[in-house]
Structure formats: C-alpha cells, structure tokens
Structure 1
Amino acid sequence: MNRPALIWRHFRPALALLVLLGAAGLALDAFAQEPLQWGAYLSMMAFYAVIFGLGAYAGNRETSKSDDHLILAGRKLPLWLAVFTMSATWVGGGYINGTAEYTATAGLVWVQAPWGYALSLVIGGLFFARTMRAHRFRTLLDPFRQRFGQRAVSLLFLPALSGELFWTAAILTALGTTFGAIAGIDTQAAIIISAAITMAYTALGGLWAVALTDFVQLLLLFGGLALAIPYAMGSAGGLSAAWGIYTDTYGQAAKLWPTREALGAYYWNWWDYALLLIFGGIPWQVYFQRVLSARTPQIAVRLSLVAGLVCLLAAVPAVLIGIAAQAVDWAGMGLPAPPDAASTLPWAIRYLTPYGVGIVGLGAVAAAVMSSADSSMLSASSMAGWNIVKPLSRKKLDMSQLVKKLIWISGTAATLIALNIKSVYELWFLCSDFVYCLLFPALCAALFDPKANTPGVVAGFGIAAALRFGGGDATLGLPVLLPYPMIEDGVCLFPFRTLSMACGLAAILIVSRLTQMYCPAKPLQVMER
C-alpha cells in the first residue's frame, strides 16, 4: 500500500471522530444555558481530529510487538524528537495555565514552577539520566525492583501512581477550562470529551503517538501564544503600563527573587517549595520514559539539558499574559473577569484578543495541555503494567494489550479527580510534593548507595510519610497533626517537606547499614535487551 493510501486509512477514524463530535456539539448546544460558539467549537474539533489521526498513524509506524515498543518507542527516538516530547511533556496545562494563574493572582515571586522544573531537568540529565539509560531500565521502578524487591516496588508504586494521576487531573482541568473558554461549553463536559480523545489516541499509538503529536503541539503552543501576547498587552495599555500596574499591586512580590519583605512568614515555606520543585521534578516516570527511550545514554543526557532550556523559555508567554490579565480593568472594559484563578490564561486569550487570534491562541494552549495528558496516562499505565500487574500475574500477558487497557483505567481515574478540583497550580504542586518526599530519597539510594537495602528503604519511606502527612495539606483537607513550629491559620509554614525528604534519606542510609548483616544489599544490574 502506498503512503497516501496508508495515511488515508489511518485518518479515516479521525473523520468519524469529527462527525461524532459534531453531533455532541448539537446536543451540548441544545441543553446549554448559553449558545455554543460554533466557529470556535468546530475549530477545536478539527484540531482534536487531526491529533487523533496523527496518533493512530504513528501507532502503526512499526510492526514490532516487543515490550519496548509501546512504552519506549523501541528505544529509537532521535534527539530532535526526544527534545520535543520531553519539553512538551513538562510544558503542559499545569505549566502554562498555572504559571499565568499565579502570575496574575500571587505575584512573580510565587511563580516557581518554570525555573524549578527547568533546573530539575538539568540536574536529572547531569546526575540521573546516564545511569538509568545505561542500565537499560524500562521504567522508574526498575532499579527499585532490582535493589529492594517486588514488595518494596509495590510500596513505592503508590506515590509514583498518585503523582501521575494528580498530574493528569491537573492537566485535564486546564484542558477543560481552555476548551470551555473557547467554545463556551460547560467545563466538566469539556474535560470529559478531551480526556476520552486523549485516552483513545494514546492507547492506539503508545509513545510514538505521544512523541509525534507532542512535536505538532509544541509548535502550535509557541506560535499561538506569540500571536496572543501583543493583543493582551495592548488591552492593558502596553508592557510598560501593565508592568507599572503590576508592580504597584504586588510590590516586592513582583520580583522573582524571594525577600523577607515580600514573603514575610512564608519565607521558609517558599524555599521548601523551591527545593520540592527542583528535586521533586526528577523521580517521575513521565521524565524517565523519555530518557529511557533515547538511542544512547549520551542522547539521554543531552535531551534533558536542552529540554530544560526550552521549558524555561516556554514560560515567558504565560508570564506576560498573566501580567496583562492582572493589569486589565475588566469591569471598565465591559468584560467579565475570570470566574476563578485557574481560568486566567484562557479567559485572557478569549476576551483580550480578536476572535480569530483567540481561537488560535486557545487552541495552542489546548495543544500544550493535551501533550502532557497523553504522556502522564502512558507513564502511569507503563509502571502499573510492567512493574505491578505483569510480575504478580501467573499468566503470560501481552504487555501492549495490558498497557492499553490500563491507559483507559488510569485516564478515567484522573478524569474523576479533575472533575472535583479547583486550582490547577495547587494540584500541580501536590504531584511533586509526594514524589519529592517519598520517591526521591529511594531513587538516590537505589542509584548511588551500594549498601542500601530493603529494610532501609521501607524505614525511610515510613518516616518520610509520617513527617510529610503530619504537616497536613490544605488541598487534600488534611489537618496539621505534628507539633511543627510556624503554624498560621491551620497551615504549616515550616519547611517540613524538605525535612521529610532529608529524614527519609538519612533513615535509608542508617537502617541499611545497621541491617546489612541480615539483609545484604543487592547490586544494580544492566537489564536484558
């Protein structure tokens, strides 16, 4: 079959999807309180159909049925494509929407995620990527299984899975608010439609589908936001006027570097979150999936370093639009203000730009959001299939079919979470919170401490979990249980997350050496091809 015919065969389902979404639009329009924005809706549907078709086509670019094919693209990702998919994975809905949200509502000093995650990619590339790729691991949990056994893997899988699910939920929330702002439909309906499409093409194509769609989505993001920035700033009177209003509003908090004057009692809390983002951005399957899919360990290092720079640059448009959204006199212009903090970016693009530019800009944001949602669904399913279900099953399982089923399960779970959250940025922080406190110490011990053993890592996990959850969590509604200092309005401002991580790591080192005679440490080994 020639290439045009092959492409047509794989894009026919996309046309069917387009028809189905058109019918869904008619239903939504019939029951919605406000009329559907048909031009914007059809534009988004066309974008979704193209992405779906590209994912379906990518899934058939290889005939290999090996375990590495679906979850690691056969370890054949070239450097340029690996950089795009790594960057697009981090520069997603939580990243773009969350950066604009906190820029507009809290001040630049609290916009920590862009540079924090950029540094995490650089540190991950310099110290972790080469070792992981050289040992030919398939997931983040493989070194844990080698060093500490299957029971420890099952324990460490819990924060890894919860992190991916919360991450996906934050992304889907951003996608729903973006899609809803474009087409004027209910956010929950937008979340459900977007999640279903993302799950479908991810299950069809695996990492190749994710990587190739990421390439298109990242280009759309940069182009769309570049179009929107001049109009958004023009609505605020230009960059100089907007910056003047912004600094008058936030004062010292309008600067990136923290000062006690700007942060007050939150000074050490700021540093706690900063370290959380830098080191908590490393122990992620969604990160190591790209590292492990690289052709060589050297490429794995380089793609991490370049992606860190791209991630930092990608935050600039979101920051500028966030500044404009804060400086604009919404009521004076006769425009509705954003209904909630999470809607800052899509609302600014919709109402502060011309109609056509708004559709392109919001479509670009939707592209960025979708590029992270598919990655997280695939990552959670890869870990669950390869490290939990397959080792514990007595039957011989087809890894590809197993992961495809798990994509639907994990995607559905994340969708249910997304339907019940309010802030993209808060949930985004919570993702790194869990992996920083509970997974980062174990990963460091597994890769760099030859004496780390199972009792040590279990003890470290238990101590870190007790100290972390003892500090409470407003997002999850958990009260402060331990007598930490610096408690204000029921929130602990003491850097207990970093304390939890450090104590967990210390416990692994100490307990492992005390129990070495009874439970000798196992070496790290290169996995079979």
Structure 2
Amino acid sequence: MLITFVLLYLLLNIGIGFWASRRVHNTQDFLLAGRKLPFYISTAVVFATWFGSETLMGASSEFAEHGLLGVIEDPFGAALCLVLVGLFFAKKLYRLNLLTMGDYYRIRYNRTTELIAAFFMVISYFGWIAAQMVALGIVMNQVLSLDTKTGILVGSCIVVGYTYLGGMWSVSVTDFLQTVMIIGGLILITYNITQEVPLQTITATLPDNFFRFVPQHHSYSNWLNYIAMWITIGLGSIPQQDVFQRVMSAKSERIAVASSISAGFLYLTVAFLPLVLALYAKVLHPDLLEQDAQLLVPGLILNYASPWVKALFFGALISAIISTASGGILAPASILSENLVRPLLKKQINDKQLLLLSRLSVLVVALVSLGMAMMRSNIYELVSESSALSLVSLFVPLVAGMFWKKPNAAGAVGSMLAGMGGWLIALNLSTEINPLLYGLAGSVAGLLTGQILFRETSSKTVQFSFSKNN
C-alpha cells in the first residue's frame, strides 16, 4: 500500500509538469507563472518555500536533540522572513515588475553590481537544493529500499523533469496540492498519535530547560549567537530569488503582501507538528536516536504506525520535499539565465530563446546541486550555510537601496565583497561568535566605505523610485 501510494504520487507530479507546460508561452510564464496567482494559491506557494526536508527532518532532529533553542533558525527565523517580506519588501518589489531579484541590483546600482549579486545568489542555492536531494534519497531508501544515492538520483530526476517543463506554473500547481496534503496529513497523524499517548506524558519526561526560548547563560557571545540564529534565515533569505519569485507571482501587489504574511504565520503553525512527532520518537523509541537523527520522524512512522498513517505521512513528506526542491532549482536557474548568461551573449535573443536558456539553466543548477548532495548528508547544515551566504553578501545592499537614497554602486559592491570576505575569514578562524555576524558587520562597513570614497551618485540611482508608474 505504501509503495503503491508513493509511486502514484510521483507519477501525479510528472503529469502535472506536462499539464503545466502547456501554460508556458513566454519567459514570464516560466519564471513568474504569468503573475496570475490568486491569494489561496499564492499563499500555498510562499508557504511551501521552506516547508521541506529541513522542517520535517532537519529541524525535527535538532529539536529532539537540543530543545527549543535548537530550532530558532527554523521554523522561527523562517517564519519571520516571510512576515518581514510581506510588511516591508513585497509591495516595493512588486511595483518594479522585475523578472528576477538580480534585476533589482542592476536598476538600483549598475551592471557590475548585478553580476556580483547574481553570482552570490546562484551559489547560495546549491546547498539548499542539495539538502532536498539528500532528503529525497533518504525517503526513497526508507520507503522503496533503494540505496540512498540511487534514491537521490531518482528523486532528483522527477523534480528536475517537471520543473524543466512547467517552470513556475508546475511549482505553483503542485505547491497548492502539496500544501493541502501536507497540512491535512500532519494534522491527522499528530492527532492519531496524541490520542494513543497524551502529550503531557511525553513532555513530563523532558529536561527542565528543554523548552527554554532564550540563552540560559547571559554572556555577550551567547546573546550574539542567539541573534545570529534568528537572522540566518530571518534576514538572510529576504534577498533570495525563490522568495522573490513566489511573492512576485501573485495577481496583485495586495495579494503579494497578504499571501506572504499569511504564509509566515501558517508556516510557524504547521511547522510545530513535525516537532511534536519528533518528541514522541525521542521518548517512545530512543533507539532511533542511535541511527541518523534525521530519520527520527520517518522512522517513528515507518516502524510504529498503521498503513494508512504511513501512506499519509510519506505522501506529506514527499510533497514537502518536492515543493521546496522544485522552487529551489528554478530560482537560481532564473538568475543564471537572466542575469549572468543572457547579458554575455553577443547578439540579442528573443523570448523563445530566453525560455530555452532558462530551461537549460535548470539542468545546470540541478547537476551542480546533485554533486553536492552526493558528498554531504546533513540537511540542516546545508540549509543554514545557504542562508548565511546571502545574508552577508546581499541583504545590506538590498535594504540600503530600498530605504536610503544615498547608496551608490561602489558601496553596494564593497558591501558584498567585504561581507563575504569577513564571513569566510571568520569561518576559517572558527570564532566563538557566529562568523555570520562578522560577515554582516563587514557588509555594513563595505557599504559605508564605498559611499564615503565614491560620493558621486549615478543618474540611475537618483531616478530610481518605487512609484506605481515605474
């Protein structure tokens, strides 16, 4: 029953990809679903941005091992990101009518800034996508008894196939169906398990400080590292193409704002369900901790649940992973084709050729990420590293360009390079304080230095605005 259900679900995703490909007539259809998504689909699409392997497998294992402080980064930081995007960024970006986040750095600063930003944006995604591929391999191993690496290959081919065909239309339709399945499946599974063993019985066995929300030792470094956990995804994913792409696919700027905020609160609510399941696994079946901690929740369901619960859970799990993986692949492929490759071509290409270029970029991104997935196995770390990279390089120029009229291209470039350099040096030195904070400080310093040394502001910067007529 379980194997049949999983195979049917995978075939459904492939079918949706073929169906969605008929709605793709130009690059805007492929990258932004034609900017036609209604509120309910837009909310589901934004919600599915991160509700994947890092939530169901990565965050749940961190929660079981380290308590509430172990999951500040995700789901709390991830939900914070979506709410902040809705409150401060969605309306401004939607009015610009851009195809990619990379385009923003060009029209606000210049072509050089766009190139550097696009490069950092693309490489920041490889770890994120690799995490989803690893998770697919683990699930294939658990359900179909495939070797994990074979599972990674099979799962990746399915995701790449329907993303290549339907682009954002495939992502949007499958995200909506998968969100319904994820939420419904997790609610039923959690209810079923809590009826067998009350939650109070489980929490009574946990250490006193398991649910502590702030650092126990109030030292300078502890608080700085605590802040770093909040902002890794909370701020680091704001300048990312996948968030931009999903929000900009909405039918109107009002829907873009509302769906982002709604998805943030929905994410925070639903993400607690796998954390509860991880507690049950930790307390009732501690033997699962002796294996890979990422298998806590899947192991609990696979070994101790009824067949229908297994089918529901693994359907929800595959739904979540595929949603995140497809959007993750499409995002850097958009940047690669639109902001890195297209400007380097000697002759102007038409929209049909650009659409083909975008599809080929999907394959390139998938191949690089697949290589990383074969070498790395920790889902939570892969996701964290991706968000940190974009925070130290892209966040400061984005915010400064939107809310401060003075920043110039030199400051933006200096910010990205200094931020990345400071982060890499701190990583190398294994500093007590999270290296991300050194990178963020370097990014601010680079922006101010460039602003002081090159005071001239280009006419493009002066004319840049967020009015509806832009």
TM-score, normalised to structure 1, is 0.83
Look up the equivalent residue of 1:189 and give its one-letter code: T
1:176/1:188 contact within 8 Å kept? yes
Distance verdict in 2 for CA 1:265–1:78, change over 3 Å: same
Which among 443, 448, 468 is matched to residue 509 of structure 1?
448
**Residue of structure 1 equivalent to 2:13:** 51
- If asked which structure has higher relative contact order (CA below 8 Å, sep 6+), I would say 2
**Residue of structure 1 equivalent to 2:169:** 208
Is 1:91 equivalent to 2:87 in the alignment?
A: no
Is 1:298 equivalent to 2:254 in the alignment?
A: yes
Look up the equivalent residue of 1:447 and give its one-letter code: M
Look up the equivalent residue of 2:11 and give its one-letter code: A
1:464/1:501 contact within 8 Å kept? yes
Identical aligned pairs, as a percentage?
Answer: 25
- Look up the SS of the partner of 1:419 in the other structure: helix
**Residue of structure 1 equivalent to 2:306:** 354
Task: Quote the offset at 1:337 in angstroms.
Answer: 5.2
Distance 1:283 1:343 in 2: 31
RMSD over aligned Cα atoms: 2.3
Look up the equivalent residue of 2:423 and give its one-letter code: R
Q: Deviations over 1:18-75 (max 9, x none)?
A: xxxxxxxxxxxxxxxxxxxxx433321111001110121122135x32x211101111
Which among 452, 461, 464 is matched to residue 524 of structure 1?
464
**Residue of structure 1 equivalent to 2:277:** 321
Task: Quote the offset at 1:434 in angstroms.
Answer: 0.5
Distance verdict in 2 for CA 1:330–1:147, change over 3 Å: closer
**Residue of structure 2 equivalent to 1:184:** 145
- Look up the SS of the partner of 2:346 in the other structure: coil
Which among 72, 94, 102 is matched to residue 133 of structure 1?
94
Task: Quote the offset at 1:241 in angstroms.
Answer: 1.8
Task: Quote the offset at 1:95 in angstroms.
Answer: 2.2
Which among 214, 217, 225 is matched to residue 186 of structure 2?
225
**Residue of structure 2 equivalent to 1:16:** none
Task: Quote the offset at 1:274 in angstroms.
Answer: 1.4
Which among 274, 287, 290 is matched to residue 243 of structure 2?
287
2:131/2:377 contact within 8 Å kept? no
Look up the equivalent residue of 2:87 and give its one-letter code: L
Distance verdict in 2 for CA 1:267–1:186, change over 3 Å: farther
Distance 2:144 2:469 in 1: 50
Q: Deviations over 1:282-318 (max 9, x none)?
A: 1110000022222222221111111111111111111
Distance 2:409 2:262 in 1: 36
**Residue of structure 1 equivalent to 2:32:** 72
Task: Quote the offset at 1:276 in angstroms.
Answer: 2.1
**Residue of structure 1 equivalent to 2:214:** 258
Give aligned pairs, total.
464
1:93/1:370 contact within 8 Å kept? no
1:179/1:362 contact within 8 Å kept? no
Distance verdict in 2 for CA 1:234–1:329, change over 3 Å: farther
Distance verdict in 2 for CA 1:298–1:513, change over 3 Å: farther
**Residue of structure 2 equivalent to 1:459:** 414
Look up the equivalent residue of 2:407 and give its one-letter code: A
Task: Quote the offset at 1:525 in angstroms.
Answer: 5.6
Distance 1:518 1:125 in 2: 29
**Residue of structure 2 equivalent to 1:366:** 318
Distance verdict in 2 for CA 1:256–1:179, change over 3 Å: farther
**Residue of structure 1 equivalent to 2:330:** 378
Q: Mark the runs of 5 or more structure 2 residues left unpaired by the alignment.
A: none
Distance verdict in 2 for CA 1:168–1:49, change over 3 Å: same
Task: Quote the offset at 1:268 in angstroms.
Answer: 3.0
- Look up the SS of the partner of 1:492 in the other structure: coil
Look up the equivalent residue of 1:430 and give its one-letter code: E
Task: Quote the offset at 1:430 in angstroms.
Answer: 0.9
Which among 373, 379, 386 is matched to residue 418 of structure 1?
373
2:17/2:166 contact within 8 Å kept? yes
Q: Deviations over 1:65-92 (max 9, x none)?
A: 2x21110111111111111111112212
Question: Higher mean Cα deviation, 74-83 or 449-458?
Answer: 449-458
Is 1:341 equivalent to 2:302 in the alignment?
A: no
Which among 33, 39, 62 is matched to residue 102 of structure 1?
62
TM-score, normalised to structure 2, is 0.93
Distance 2:450 2:253 in 1: 32
Distance 1:99 1:223 in 2: 20
Distance 1:82 1:302 in 2: 9
Look up the equivalent residue of 1:227 and give its one-letter code: L
Is 1:142 equivalent to 2:103 in the alignment?
A: yes
Task: Quote the offset at 1:205 in angstroms.
Answer: 0.6
Distance verdict in 2 for CA 1:500–1:261, change over 3 Å: same
1:40/1:183 contact within 8 Å kept? no
Distance verdict in 2 for CA 1:317–1:263, change over 3 Å: farther
Q: Deviations over 1:312-331 (max 9, x none)?
A: 11111111011111112445
Larger Rg: 1
Task: Quote the offset at 1:500 in angstroms.
Answer: 2.2
More helix by share: 2
Q: Deviations over 1:161-184 (max 9, x none)?
A: 122221111112122212321222
Task: Quote the offset at 1:211 in angstroms.
Answer: 0.2
- Look up the SS of the partner of 1:224 in the other structure: helix
Which among 349, 355, 362 is matched to residue 407 of structure 1?
362
Distance verdict in 2 for CA 1:448–1:375, change over 3 Å: same
1:44/1:363 contact within 8 Å kept? yes
Task: Quote the offset at 1:368 in angstroms.
Answer: 0.6
Distance 1:329 1:87 in 2: 31
**Pairs within 5 Å for 1:422-501:** 422-472=377-427, 479-480=428-429, 491-501=430-440
- Look up the SS of the partner of 2:423 in the other structure: helix
**Pairs within 5 Å for 1:384-403:** 384-397=336-349, 398-403=353-358
1:260/1:267 contact within 8 Å kept? no
